[in-house]
Chains A and B, each alone.
Chain A
């Protein structure tokens, strides 16, 4: 390949214009040479012989006439064994390796391979010479942590390929040739365990895309029982600052019922990444019993790291997620926060002097957000197995107002909405998901009728609560007051959940169903209570019993005892179940 070199003609922030002579493609990667370092950049607009590029680094020191080297390649991620447990920046540079090379700071112009080139992996071939395969089908496996990592025919090879030779079982590095295949014309292609894939293109090497049906348990009661997320689905969590978005994602990343979790810390605090890095290696994955870090990949492009690579970081993360999905695994991608990504788009759009849309966000904001969330999905793979990518993104709306463009564009494309409210977080009701505004299109872990019944209690209680603010307790009837207390109790014992307690935070599907039944019995009953004071004290005590019950291990002795206490309390109040609740409980038996 001949060298394609351009010259810098203008610099404005991290946007640099380059005059070029050869051919340049959109989103191609190029390097700006400043003194003795090369700064990675991406072509984002081409006009005549001028290419506008966004530089992934700080642009101080660039001058007109500096050389720009075009590579002919798009921004891509290196895919292969060894991704799990890594901490990358937005461009897939492993941060610990950068620390070894550069010390304390992220000096510009230092890049490293995403995968360790020296580490040997034990390869077991599954294909034989003569087999015909397509991109996305695998030729062998290596063990990676608790998983069987499949070695694929690279996704970018079109058509069918015949295996000419394949190495025997043994230890190889990611860059060694392990097989040779020939294409339809007989041209030989060498295959190693790693290959590159352009991050902004979705991986489509699957047989068919299925509807997300299977619920992904997050172990958060409020989510699973009321506003669930499906494997292969999408959801968003908008909320004002301090409402607990990050803590909620953190909890989800620990307990979610998936194989692999990818955390994209996009434009957020470095301190939070440090917390994950310190905590995760110490925790065990309840599914495999191994360190939680072994199923986690962290892509962090914190708020002070360059903006352009913040934009790239969400694409890098989703590409890694799709790669593991191709192995028949269920992957959860948590992006915190997509607003920062949108702001990165806005900054570049401003520099490109595009006509601004609402709040100066670019007009293509919606289609970019839609395209990103569309990369989630539940798919059937060529070998018949299934895999999924679930995407959950936080949104940080300005002023906590959901009427802003990023929240609205996101709501259009996601399958579940968990809106956090300042009111709930101020009242220390965590998780601060507001049940009155949130919604989900997926299947709840509990029976959907039961879930609706509980939601109804909340709704009625809220109505009476707001009425009480006007007419006072005195002006409310005893029966209305009881409905209010029931809603309060449901909120306190089921919706609120202590994410720092190991048992309480990890509430399984079975437990949720069991507790919901009990709650429907207790809340769907009428009690013999003389006045409001009696009612208040009765439900307060009942509430305490349920909270104690929540902290006991499921089906343990303590669990049964706590349940007995609830039953006793129920009898003490002379509870009589309503016909509606009774029917509901009977139906499910």
Chain B
């Protein structure tokens, strides 16, 4: 068992230093403060001076507190018992269940050998038409949900958790408001999805360092499930809070900031999490959906910007809807040719007409008179927004496609849609 040290040399923010020997980089320690025990992780060694980030934060830590090194890195217990449970960023239970200590697995492990990956080619159904039909989510894809504060992104995640066709859901919450946490808990248990869900939750009032552990914990568990042939969906909210915690620690440790105060390795740090998304050859998979709030609705802010370079597309959540123009699933063409033969063409045509509708709205707002074609577009746009874009719509892909044809038929003649006639002949609903 590790040695005990009784002298803390310095305390700055959440980072303390002690004089110690034989300590390993990234090793965990336990600190006994007057407010209880907390874990801490070694993040710098300089001779015999060891810096540690304290999970529970620096508040109330005394220079005389006891520090005991545990001789191991951060790990997480893995077994089927995790399902239905809720943990914090240190891996301790947040629910009333027992602590799990068996079968400990390291977190933040090495990346997957690219030659062991397979090409993403399976669709993950979510029964949300704006995803399934227009920007299909693909198993092993990593996609952020770009959003601004105030948008119903957590509601969206909860719906995906309930409806997505995944064996296991891992939910990682970073800087969540407490009521959002309660919302997730309630929604998932009411929807009956709690039994296939593992939650790692850090709320806004919890210590910053724990926030940084959430993605690693969630993804380590997801990876283990995936190696047991499970298709795992990891939902993370909100990655901007994660980046901000990294910024906080980096600044505390006097690292040179690069862009708007974020550390220079922001890209690598985000990438090492997102790249955990994988489809293992002959085994399970990890799919990652991560909310990234954009401060000031600015997509060039370092967090969404770096994220955009890493992920395979993005969903834009705007005005309570998944916005069809900015959103893009880069992998959708890998799967949407195999669903139904009208999928691609219907997707393209409906979006094209919707974009004409947007132009018409602009014209209307400027006071121009509306001709018959404009009237048709206006009707179409409204139907499209209410029947397909609304987040509460829960329809399978096939039903959404049928509904799409119906909307078209309600507003237009066959040859006005610009769809090839052999398809309209087959799919156009009979009035």
Interface residues of A (CB under 8 A from B): 9-13, 58-65, 87, 95-96, 98-99, 102-108, 240-242, 267, 269-271, 273-275, 277-278, 300, 302-305, 307, 340, 343-344, 346-347, 349-350, 353, 356, 359-361, 396, 398-401, 426
Contacts and interface: CB of A to CB of B under 8 A. Distances in A.
30 contacts: A9-B46, A9-B47, A10-B44, A60-B25, A62-B45, A63-B22, A65-B22, A98-B113, A99-B115, A103-B116, A104-B280, A107-B110, A240-B308, A242-B328, A269-B275, A271-B312, A274-B119, A278-B119, A304-B272, A304-B275, A340-B267, A343-B267, A346-B258, A349-B264, A350-B264, A356-B258, A360-B256, A360-B259, A361-B258, A401-B300
A347 B264 contact: yes
Contacts of B23: 63-64
Contact of A63 (B45, B255, B267, B309): B45
B119 A275 contact: yes
A11 B111 contact: no
B120 interface: yes
A98 B328 CA distance: 34
Contact of A108 (B22, B44, B110, B119): B110
B21 A64 contact: yes
A11 to B, nearest CB: 4
A66 B25 CA distance: 11
Contact of B73 (A60, A98, A271): A60
6 closest Cβ contacts across the A-B interface? A399-B300, A303-B271, A304-B275, A360-B258, A60-B26, A241-B308
A431 B118 CA distance: 27
Interface string B259-296: 10001110110011011101010000000000000000
Contacts of B274: 303-304
B52 to A, nearest CB: 13
Contacts of B263: 350
B280 to A, nearest CB: 6
B302 interface: yes
B275 to A, nearest CB: 3
Nearest to A95: B115
Given A61-B26, A271-B120, A398-B300, A359 B259 contact: yes
B305 interface: yes
B113 A104 contact: yes
Nearest to B254: A353
B48 interface: yes
B117 A303 contact: no
A395 to B, nearest CB: 11
A302 B118 CA distance: 15
Contacts of B256: 350, 353, 356, 360
A278 B116 CA distance: 12
B257 A106 contact: no
B112 A105 contact: yes
Contacts of B258: 346, 350, 356, 359-361
B192 interface: no
Given A269-B310, A271-B312, A302 B111 contact: yes
B64 interface: no
Contacts of A360: 256-259, 264
Contacts of A102: 113
B25 A63 contact: yes
A104 B116 contact: yes
A10 B47 contact: yes
Given A267-B268, A270-B114, 4 more contacts: A63-B22, A278-B119, A398-B300, A398-B306
Contact of A11 (B25, B278, B305, B308): B25
Nearest to A355: B256
Interface in B115-136: 115-120
A60 B268 contact: no
Contacts of A58: 110
B24 interface: yes
A277 B114 contact: yes
Interface size class on chain B is 35 or more
A297 to B, nearest CB: 14
B44 A302 contact: no
Interface of B: 21-27, 44-48, 73, 109-120, 140, 227, 255-259, 263-265, 267-268, 271-272, 274-276, 278, 280, 300, 302, 305-306, 308-310, 312-313, 325, 328, 330-331
A31 B354 CA distance: 60
A60 B73 CA distance: 8
A346 B267 CA distance: 11
Contacts of A426: 325
Contacts of B306: 398
B308 A302 contact: no
Contact of A64 (B45, B113, B276): B45
Nearest to B255: A350
A274 B117 contact: yes
B264 A343 contact: yes
A398 B302 contact: yes
Contacts of B120: 271
Contacts of A271: 117, 119-120, 140, 312, 331
Given A102-B113, A106-B112, A360-B259, A303 B280 contact: no
A64 B48 contact: yes
A304 B278 CA distance: 12
A536 B324 CA distance: 29
A182 B115 CA distance: 43
Contacts of A104: 112-113, 116, 227, 280
A12 B300 CA distance: 30
Contacts of A300: 114
Contacts of A65: 21-22
B15 to A, nearest CB: 13
Nearest to A279: B119
B45 A267 contact: no
Contacts of A398: 259, 300, 302, 305-306
A126 B348 CA distance: 61
Contacts of B305: 241, 398-399
A106 B114 CA distance: 9
Contact of B111 (A99, A240, A305, A340): A305
Nearest to B331: A271
A62 B42 CA distance: 11
A353 B264 CA distance: 12
A42 to B, nearest CB: 18
A86 B259 CA distance: 37
B265 A274 contact: no
Contacts of A63: 22-25, 45
A241 B117 contact: no
B24 A60 contact: yes
Contacts of A346: 258, 264
A278 B279 CA distance: 14
For B111, B310, B328, the residue with the greatest tally of chain A CB atoms inside 10 Å of its CB is B111
Contacts of A350: 255-256, 258, 263-265
A62 B45 CA distance: 9
Nearest to A63: B24
Nearest to B308: A241
